[in-house]
Structure 1
Amino acid sequence: MTLMWLAFAILLLPALWLLVSPLRRAPVLYAAQRDFEASDRTAEQNVAIYRRRLESLEAALERGEIDTARFEEDRLELERSLLEDTADLKRRPLQGPHAGRLAVPVVALALVVGSVAWYYHNGAEGDLALYAAYQESDSLPALVERLEAQAERQPDNPNVWSSLFPIYRDAGQGEAALEAIDQLIRLEGRQPSLLAQKAQLKFFMADRTLTDEVQALVDEILERDSSEPTTLGMLGVVAFDRGNYEEAIDQWRRAIAGMNDPDSADALREGIRAAQQRLGVASEAREPVAVGPGVNLRVTLAEELQGEHEDDTQVFVVARDMEGEKPPLAVARLTLGDLPTEVVLDDSRAMSEQASISEVDEVRIVVRVTTTGDASPVPGDLFGGRDGVAVGDTDGEPVEVVVDRVVE
């Protein structure tokens, strides 16, 4: 910022020099003008011409060449011409060389103030502060701290929120990420791409559930842009989770066609391959098909909890990193009637491209039987879990996870 203001001052110096330079030449110009006016004989020459012409008229009158009426008419014309020629020669008193000197600093100050005010209104000082925050941060926590400080100082700068949103999202801070995307939508308007980011975030915060709110966002997005890639990718995930693999492939192919991010497109291609594999084994009770390393689980319901809920009650099987710093790494959705069952959690069940199960060595498994379908547990939900499950080959014996507790 210091360099920026220094450059700003350097650019103002030539303008201020142009304003001040006439003061240095004022004495010379004053002397030249004074001498010119002192030696000016234009008025005397005009009077002399008038007298010569009047004498010619009087001589013509004496010789009888013109009558008295013509003489008076021509004399009046001469006097009128003399008045016209000498009227513009009357000058105001010449001002001294130091007159108006106070106006120069006033104009210079107005120039500086006006320039600074214009820059604050139309410049990009806020973006320079963001750039400095990135340059001065040696770690992600330090960067987040500086960006949050900038969000307090310039809450109406969309670049602040667009910087914070992906950081919050990738760190699993769903509520903070939601606040950032809402601020961005407030400033930039309800653009389909921004609405799609919000819909995707709320979708994954609800454990890959297409809630009424997410569906309303999807409807609004597709009405404005039917080929919005983020939304199509999310709808592909929904179709995949429901076992509609052909629909998932179609949605993901349409999403890839509109994507500019090669990494995201590659992730969707992996999903397409997984869906194609699932289509090939669909008639074989949908046996787990691994995409990269993962975990093979056997999920069962404790005997004392059987009959607590209907068979169509939703069951979420979630793999999280042991530190709890990332978004869910993989999610599978079942129904209570499916239990006991085996399920494979691998990269094909990733919730986002920024967090996948193949990136870690161990995971914490959480199984929740939800009566509402929401991401937050409510009293009456059932749950179970297991920590320290190794990620690796999914062809071995499944790891047993028992749902044996009730949310109070």
Structure 2
Amino acid sequence: MTLLWIALAVLVLPALWLLVTPLRRAASVSAAQRDVEANDRTTQQNLAIYRRRLASLEAAHERGDIDAARLEEDRLELERSLLEDTEHLERAPLKPAGSGKPAVPVVMVAVVLAGAFWYHHEGADGDLALYRVQQEVANDPNASLPVLIQRLEEQADRQPDNPNVWRSLFPLYRDSGRIDEATRALERLVELEGRQPWLLAELAQIRYFAAGREMTGEVQALVDEVLASEPAQPTVLGMLGIEAFESGDYQTAIDHWRRAIAGMDNPNTAEALREGIRVAQQRLGIDPEEADPAVAEGPGIPVRVRLADDLAGRLEGDTAVFVVARDLAGELPPLAVVRARLADLPMTVVLDDADAMAPMARLSQVDQARLMVRVSRSGQATPQPGDLVGTLEGVAVGDTDREPVEVVIDRVVE
């Protein structure tokens, strides 16, 4: 910030110099003007012209060319013309050269104060503070993602009405798996910037995944609002494709994902959707289109899930089952999520990039993952007492044609 004020001062100095420049030249300009007025011979010239014309009129009268009445009329006209010419030559007395000096410092101070006031209201000092924090963390070898989030949260406390602060915090919360904080950041952005379609689309998507990929009434209302103003919004179309895929409507999922790709400028997200299209086509029993050569079999994890015998019968068969893959450090959102029913167990599923919750957190980004299978009594993604769980650590991500790893649901959440 100090450098900013130094730069602003450097810019103000030329403006102040221009303000005092006329005052510095005032003495020479005043002297030149006095000299011009002292040597002005316009009046003498006008009198000489008047005398010549009057002599000419009198000579014409003597010759008999004009009578006395005409002579008197023309003479009055000459006198009127002379008065008009000399009237415009009257000048106000010159003021002293230094008469404006007291006003100059007042104007200079006013210029500086007006500039500072304008910048305070219209400038981007908050964004500069935000940028400085990001640069400090980026240049600190000991900094980490939690440190960056903490520093940005401090900025959010200092400037809660700056949308760029919340725009910076949202993806960090989301990528760290802090879904509640990410949702609040998005809601604050909507308050500050209005109900823009892309913001509502992000809010709908994060609430959809927070609800365990369930199209709740709240999510559906956001989707309807977005599509009413922007029918080709790619984030919403991608989410609708996931919903259709989960319900087994693979053709609708393909249609939604194709439309989403057409309006998408993120190549990684587009590639993930193409992979989803390929999987949906396979489940429809058709070969992937040759027009999508970039889609290829990605790395993943084949998983066999079963329920421990001593836990059988504790919950109903339609209870939701979530098969989740996460990074070992737990810093990213779930890398892959598959939803099933308890009645489907035992079952074998393949987790890959098509099951990603967010485009920036995919299974192909890691070499090993931690698997967690949870039978959710509430049907929600958030763990609740009474849920059944099973975990498996350090599972390699690789060829999906290998022998499945087994995860046994053998514990009850207290």
Q: 1:237 aligns with which of 225, 236, 242?
A: 242
Cα RMSD, aligned residues only: 3.3
**Quick check: 1:375 aligned with 2:368?**
no
Aligned equivalents of 1:94, 1:101: Cα separation in 2? 16
User: Post-superposition shift, 1:151?
Assistant: 3.1
8 Å contact from structure 1 (residues 295, 390) kept in 2: no
8 Å contact from structure 2 (residues 336, 357) kept in 1: yes
Change over 3 Å in CA distance of 1:360–1:32 after alignment to 2: same
Change over 3 Å in CA distance of 1:401–1:327 after alignment to 2: same
Q: Which residues of 2 match residues 112-151 of structure 1 at below 5 A?
A: 112-137=112-137, 138=140, 139=143, 140-151=145-156
Give the secondary-structure state (helix, strand or coil) at the position aligned to 1:367: strand
2:290 is aligned to: none
1:284 is aligned to: none
User: Post-superposition shift, 1:169?
Assistant: 0.9
Give the secondary-structure state (helix, strand or coil) at the position aligned to 1:325: coil
The one-letter code of the counterpart of 1:255 is: A
**Quick check: 1:217 aligned with 2:209?**
no
Show CA shifts across 1:310-363 (max 9, x none): x32322233334443321222221123223434443433222222234515241
Change over 3 Å in CA distance of 1:59–1:221 after alignment to 2: closer
The one-letter code of the counterpart of 1:231 is: V
**Mean CA deviation greater in 27-36 or 140-149:** 140-149
User: Post-superposition shift, 1:295?
Assistant: 5.1
Change over 3 Å in CA distance of 1:307–1:33 after alignment to 2: closer
2:205 is aligned to: 200
Q: Give percent identity, aligned residues only.
A: 56
The one-letter code of the counterpart of 2:179 is: G
1:168 is aligned to: 173
Aligned equivalents of 1:345, 1:45: Cα separation in 2? 105
Q: 2:186 aligns with which of 181, 184, 190?
A: 181
Unaligned runs of 5+ in 2: 287-296
8 Å contact from structure 2 (residues 373, 407) kept in 1: no
User: Post-superposition shift, 1:378?
Assistant: 5.2
Q: 1:250 aligns with which of 236, 247, 255?
A: 255
Give the secondary-structure state (helix, strand or coil) at the position aligned to 1:333: strand
Aligned equivalents of 2:71, 2:404: Cα separation in 1? 135
User: Post-superposition shift, 1:167?
Assistant: 1.4
Q: Which residues of 2 match residues 294-373 of structure 1 at below 5 A?
A: 294=301, 296-300=303-307, 303=310, 306=313, 308-309=315-316, 311-358=317-364, 359-371=366-378, 373=379
The one-letter code of the counterpart of 1:180 is: A
Change over 3 Å in CA distance of 1:72–1:231 after alignment to 2: same
2:292 is aligned to: none
Change over 3 Å in CA distance of 1:45–1:270 after alignment to 2: closer
Q: 1:292 aligns with which of 284, 288, 299?
A: 299
Aligned equivalents of 1:125, 1:28: Cα separation in 2? 44
Give the secondary-structure state (helix, strand or coil) at the position aligned to 1:376: coil
Change over 3 Å in CA distance of 1:36–1:299 after alignment to 2: same
Q: Which residues of 2 match residues 262-301 of structure 1 at below 5 A?
A: 262-280=267-285, 292-294=299-301, 296-300=303-307
Change over 3 Å in CA distance of 1:38–1:389 after alignment to 2: closer
Unaligned runs of 5+ in 1: 282-289
User: Post-superposition shift, 1:291?
Assistant: 5.2
- Tell me the matched-pair count: 396
The one-letter code of the counterpart of 2:129 is: A
Change over 3 Å in CA distance of 1:398–1:29 after alignment to 2: closer
Give the secondary-structure state (helix, strand or coil) at the position aligned to 1:384: strand
- Give TM-score, length-normalised by structure 2: 0.81
Aligned equivalents of 2:101, 2:93: Cα separation in 1? 18
Give the secondary-structure state (helix, strand or coil) at the position aligned to 2:358: coil
Show CA shifts across 1:47-97 (max 9, x none): 455456556666777887765544543443333223212212222111111
Give the secondary-structure state (helix, strand or coil) at the position aligned to 1:386: strand
User: Post-superposition shift, 1:193?
Assistant: 2.2
**Mean CA deviation greater in 160-169 or 316-325:** 316-325
Aligned equivalents of 1:389, 1:33: Cα separation in 2? 93
Aligned equivalents of 1:252, 1:63: Cα separation in 2? 111
Aligned equivalents of 1:78, 1:347: Cα separation in 2? 103
Change over 3 Å in CA distance of 1:400–1:35 after alignment to 2: closer
Show CA shifts across 1:351-405 (max 9, x none): 222223451524151413233x3333556x5322225253356643642422553
8 Å contact from structure 1 (residues 361, 391) kept in 2: yes
**Quick check: 1:402 aligned with 2:413?**
no
8 Å contact from structure 1 (residues 292, 346) kept in 2: yes
The one-letter code of the counterpart of 2:38 is: A
Give the secondary-structure state (helix, strand or coil) at the position aligned to 1:95: coil
8 Å contact from structure 2 (residues 197, 230) kept in 1: yes
- Give TM-score, length-normalised by structure 1: 0.83
